[in-house]
Structure 1
Amino acid sequence: MLGRVNHIALAVPNLAEAIETYTSTLGASVSEPELLPEHGVRVVFVTLENTKVELLEPLGETSPIAAFLARNPGGGMHHICYEVDDIISARDRLVAAGCRVLGDGEPKFGAHGKPVLFLHPKDFFGTLIELEQV
């Protein structure tokens, strides 16, 4: 069911500082910031040879990333995103296995313009999982 790792997401308290660190200190290529109001975040992607790192900054106090940063003020790993061929069949298979899909269970469009779903971290050893249809 799972394809490759699409990205690893890091919540950051200050996106501009994170971009500066990744570009100046690590010499990384970073995309332009993108607003995703439906998800309550502003994001950039650090492009690597074999995957991406997503840097997330909250859009307002109601953002899920704001809650994460309240518990982890310095930031940290927020989720890992795996690619799937068919997000609906992946969802149905996971729900049948007893896994919880966050939100209303219906895919939303993510930063890449593709359908995504998030799976409850308690079902995956404390790690929030994002599935993205390829």
Structure 2
Amino acid sequence: MKLGRLNHVGVAVPDMADAIAYYRDVMGAALITAPFDMPEQGVKVAFVNTPGEHDTAGTQIELIEPLGETSPIAGFIAKNPAGGQHHLCYEVEDIEAAREWFTAQGKRILGPTRIGAHGTPIFFLHPKDMLGQLTEIMETPREQH
């Protein structure tokens, strides 16, 4: 199994409009995707695109806002009212091979493989097994958001 590039850093936010304004007005981000709901995951998502070397896509910031009180992000926001870094997401070529490899390494996988915000399969690894960091593993997307 070979770990790919850091695709995005997930940042939980209490208010999507405020977070977009911050990245646009304070951080000078030029490309921010329109927010979209992912009811199956209980979140609203928008991506802040950062430039990479030689006009390639850089690492994205994934803004995630809870959709209702039962959202998995709602508990994070309750503990961190201003929001904050939620997870790191790395790409892999083959999601099932990665799942098998992490399982063989004794890493705990949180839930089933499912489709993420980029439209590709993802799964999460328990923070206690990943140096204290919630880690998302995603299959490399064919097209970037």
Structure 1 portions without partners, runs of 5+: none
Q: Which residue is 2:81 aligned to?
A: 73
2:97 and 2:32 map into 1 onto residues whose CA distance is 33
Aligned residue-pair number: 132
Deviation at 1:90, TM superposition (A): 0.5
Q: Does 1:61 align with 2:69?
A: yes
Regions of 4+ moved over 3 Å: none
Deviation at 1:77, TM superposition (A): 0.3
Structure 2 portions without partners, runs of 5+: 52-57, 141-145
Percentage of pairs with the same residue? 53
1:74 and 1:67 map into 2 onto residues whose CA distance is 13
Deviation at 1:109, TM superposition (A): 0.5
Q: Which residue is 2:11 aligned to?
A: 10
Deviation at 1:7, TM superposition (A): 0.3
Deviation at 1:56, TM superposition (A): 0.5
Q: Which residue is 1:111 aligned to?
A: 117
Normalised to the residue count of structure 1, the TM-score between the two structures is 0.96
Q: How does 1:1-134 map to 2 (within 5 A)?
A: 1-28=2-29, 29-49=31-51, 50-103=58-111, 106-134=112-140
- 1:48 is aligned with what amino acid? T
2:61 and 2:100 map into 1 onto residues whose CA distance is 28
Deviation at 1:120, TM superposition (A): 0.5
Q: Which residue is 2:54 aligned to?
A: none
1:14 and 1:119 map into 2 onto residues whose CA distance is 26
What RMSD over aligned residues (CA atoms) do the two structures have, in Å? 0.8
Deviation at 1:10, TM superposition (A): 0.4
Normalised to the residue count of structure 2, the TM-score between the two structures is 0.89
